[in-house]
Amino acid sequence: MLKKYLNKENLHHAYLIEGNKKDILPLLFSFLEEMNVGTIANPDFYNISVDTFKMEDAENFKSSANQKSFSNDLNTKRIFIVSANNFLHNAQNTLLKIFEEPKINTHFFLITPDKEVFLPTILSRTYFISLKSETGDEIKEADKFIKMNLSARLEYIKELVKGKDDEEAPLPNPPLGEGEGVNTDSPRAKALKFLSALEVAISNTKEPHPDHLLIKEMEKVIDQIFKVREYLRQPGSSTKMLMESVAILL
């Protein structure tokens, strides 16, 4: 599915791919290998994964991107892949400087579960591909959540975000070229994923219902989901407290 968006003869300098990293990376690696770009033991291939892409990561990324190809061959493609659940705004501004002055045969792939984490300036300078989908099971879980009483919803949230937030328990930052590290099961990542499913479930609840008062109340919950999603992307925010605010309003 990914390959239909990628043109071997005219590869864009920067892609933003929304979806599940575990699904996207094998497809991307396969495409690159078809282009004779090695994804193993290739000094011009970089694949880094972190839970939150921070300023320090961006500076290291910029330094590596500004280096010349190890082969000194102008036709050698340099590939940079970054997978993260969250990209901090100051780190995005550093990426923006790289994208504004693209180098020949240097291509970037940003992989994220949700494009809303990105600034409009990043979105405008990347080729956006959405491979995001909510499974039926996730939406069913969200639908059950809507129908629970408050006590049950708060207990559900407690289990959903069990553990420490990613800023409190940071993952080791692997060096460029290594691809392990994204914690897709961190409380923050699970909360963001659940909010997306909950938004779909609420929309499904609203549409066929004749009660306009209920629709207005559900719209308040959707607004709160948008706010909570934004706060969840800020370092130091409490995942549990933010998710509880949605449960209480619902």
Residue 250 has pLDDT above 60, yes or no: yes
- pLDDT category, 173, cuts 50, 70, 90? very low
Instruction: Find the range with the poorest average confidence among 46-50, 122-126, 167-171, 198-202.
Output: 167-171
Residue 210 has pLDDT above 60, yes or no: no
Judge residue 163's burial from the number of C-beta atoms within 10 Å of its C-beta, 0-12 exposed, 13-18 middle, 19 or more buried: middle
Q: Specify the pLDDT at position 20.
A: 84
CATH of 2-130, one of 3.65.10.10, 3.40.50.880, 3.40.50.300, 3.90.1570.30: 3.40.50.300
- pLDDT category, 166, cuts 50, 70, 90? low
Exposure pattern of 226-250 as b/e (b: 16+ CB <10 Å)? eebbeebbeeeeebeebbbebbeeb
Contact 154, 249 (CB under 8 A): no
Q: Specify the pLDDT at position 164.
A: 67
Q: Specify the pLDDT at position 220.
A: 85
In 3D space, the residue among 86, 88, 110 whose CA is nearest the CA of residue 14 turns out to be 110
pLDDT in tens, 82-126: 999 889 999 999 999 888 887 888 999 999 988 888 989 999 999
Contact 97, 70 (CB under 8 A): no
Domain segments of the chain as ranges: 2-130, 136-170+184-249
Q: Specify the pLDDT at position 14.
A: 93
